[in-house]
Amino acid sequence: MSTMSAVYINGRFRTADRTEPVLEAATGELLGQGADATTANVDEAVAAARAALPGWRSTPPEQRAHILSAFADELQRRARSTEELVTRENGMPISLSRGANGAFPPALLRYYAHLITTTPQEEVRPSMVGHTIVRREAVGVVAAVVPWNYPQALAAFKFAPALAAGCTVVLKAAAETALDALVFAEAAQACGLPAGALNVIPGGAAAGAHLVSHPGVDKVTFTGSTATGRVIGEVCGRLLRPVTLELGGKSAAIILDDADLDVTMRGLRSASFVNNGQTCFLSSRILAPRSRYAEIVEALAALADGLRVGNPLDSATDVGPLVSERQRDRVLDFVASAANSGAKLVAGGSIPKDRDRGWFVAPTVFADVDNSDRLAREEVFGPVLAVIPYVTESDAIALANESEFGLAGTVWSSDEDRAMEVARALETGTVGINDYQLDFRAPFGGVKASGIGRELGPEGLDSFFSLKSIYRTGQPALPHPTPGMQP
């Protein structure tokens, strides 16, 4: 049996009852048959995770850390083929895939393996009449639902801290990237992770919906669109079930009037176009000062025109295809509606001439966009930028904050202190100064319609604990407060 079209439940691969074709983004050809989890698969996976919970939760943190390090080694051993597989599935340029799908998940597992051994399970706090023990306890069975754009990294955002905390996990991967998800299962089996601690069930929206509302689930963690996030948030609200939501964005790049345009354009290559525009934190609204507007629009057009569009498996490629025909058509619809709204097309705007197979869209830049236009308000999830002029720095901040979303943003200036002041004023979960490089030691997440809660860093681990306070009033008050635990 090919493990790639299976589901992985309770430590065993099982032939999928139902499959869905996975197409290669660059060619449109069949890559393989991915599992499409059934309701019964979801029920079995949740039951396996529940059964594994008492054993995994009570495994000493050092032992969990040891197994997670072995898990990291197993993923690393498979990294080369995983990188290529994801690139074929979703069109991610291979140069990016090496980091995002090859190096990142093992690195994150090792980070949380270390963190769990240095995070106290119990802390003692002095109370008025004795002392209190504050315990961190694994929250329980975790439902993790992820999208296709960074399938390996975003799944690791969830299962690495969850498993470290002592939770067991049901991972529902997206149908578009059903094949690479099973690499986690192979590695989990090979490293000796107990059966049921991590279950992998690729599938569609129906499987996801059944999973997040399942009575056997204790916490939901979701990455995906804001529309789906709202639905999951409503379900979890009704069930009073803890939920972390990492959703969409329409982040702003504020180019200040003293910005070095070479540095800015070098940085925006990645900050605004990475992964063919299929990235949640992209700076896709470019706020340009009127005093340098023509120069900036010209530089952005040159940047977009200079990006190498092509085979994502070629390491010289900057921009590959979009994940699917549907996604390509959606992006082209945005382009058409921006052109109709009076915005000025200065680069791209169509399917590249030499790319009749696969789902390519040329890197596109629209100038003279109004912040209230659809292109400035909605997430495109493709290589399309909107340039919006501003006059004063405070106008730029107001425009950046005038958005339904608040996931990320960037500030570009030759004065770091000035850029810091602007960064502090932005209503958003993360900001990059003269670059945007996600840091897994720091919390990541959004405000407003970009989500609820944080992943990564110690805060990402904390989200998989529930806290219990045990009041020991009969015990003597502590003579000295525990360092760092003052009220």
Binding residues vs ligand NAD (CB under 6 A) = 145-149, 154, 172, 174, 204-205, 208-209, 212, 223-225, 228, 231-232, 246-249, 280, 379, 381, 407, 446, 451
Euclidean distance between CA atoms 156 and 398, whole angstroms: 35
Phi, psi of 386 (to 5 degrees): -115, 125
CB closer to ligand NAD out of 132 and 244? 244
Quick one: which H or E segment has residue 246? strand 243-246
CB of 320 to ligand NAD, least distance (A): 16
Catalytic residue, chosen from 83, 246, 379, 455, is 246
CB of 148 to ligand NAD, least distance (A): 5
Which burial class, exposed, middle or buried, applies to 190 when counting CB atoms under 10 A from its CB (0-12, 13-18, 19+)? middle
CB of 39 to ligand NAD, least distance (A): 13
Cα torsion for 150, 154, 159, 160, to the nearest 10°?
100
CB of 191 to ligand NAD, least distance (A): 25
CB closer to ligand NAD out of 56 and 381? 381
- What letter represents residue 478's amino acid? L
CB of 250 to ligand NAD, least distance (A): 9
Token pair, residue 447, equals 């405000």
CB closer to ligand NAD out of 272 and 311? 272
Close Cβ partners of 326 (under 8 Å, ≥ 6 residues apart): none
Residues 296, 302, 303, CA angle at the centre, nearest 5°? 85
Residue whose CB is nearest to ligand NAD in the complex, by number: 208
Active site residue 83: no
Active site residue 280: yes
Euclidean distance between CA atoms 331 and 384, whole angstroms: 8
Strands of 168-172's sheet in order across: 12-15, 6-9, 198-200, 168-172, 141-145, 219-223, 243-246, 451-452
* Residue 13: HSE in the Cβ half-sphere, 13 Å Cα cutoff: 18
CB closer to ligand NAD out of 100 and 232? 232
CB closer to ligand NAD out of 126 and 443? 443
Catalytic residue, chosen from 167, 280, 379, 455, is 280
Residues identified as active-site: 246, 280
